[in-house]
Amino acid sequence: MLFHVRMDVRLPHDLDPAVRSEVVAREKAYSQELQRDGRWPHIWRIAGEYANYSIFDVGSADELHELLSGLPLFPFMDVKVTPLATHPSDIRGKA
């Protein structure tokens, strides 16, 4: 199942810089692991924002929720999930 996910990060301004660096480093490692195993095939920065648009390819909404809630930055995120379906005019879509 494909999902379009927008993630907006809202770190507190008074967050200790060492804590911030550690959380961001764990976030990068975790997200890159999911990218390597194919469950997070696309991620784009939204220009001018601490936010991204991503595509996840997972087995279920429950799996997606588990992955998203495992993100180290998740407590500091606003997340919007949109399930995707194949468009009938997509020449690469499944018949």
Beta strand 51-57 with 42-45 is: antiparallel
pTM: 0.90
Token couple for 3: 């999902």
Render pLDDT for 23-81 as a digit per residue (tens, 0 to 9).
999 999 999 999 999 999 999 999 999 999 999 999 999 999 999 999 999 999 999 99
The answer to whether residue 91 is domain-embedded is: no
- Helical spans, DSSP H, in the chain: 17-36, 61-69
Q: What is the CATH number of the domain that holds 48?
A: 3.30.70.1060
In a domain, 49, yes or no: yes
8 Å CB contact between 38 and 59: no
In whole angstroms, give the CA distance from residue 47 to residue 72.
22
Phi, psi of 88 (to 5 degrees): -65, -15
In a domain, 6, yes or no: yes
**What domain range is 62 assigned to?**
2-84
Number of domains present in the structure of the chain: 1
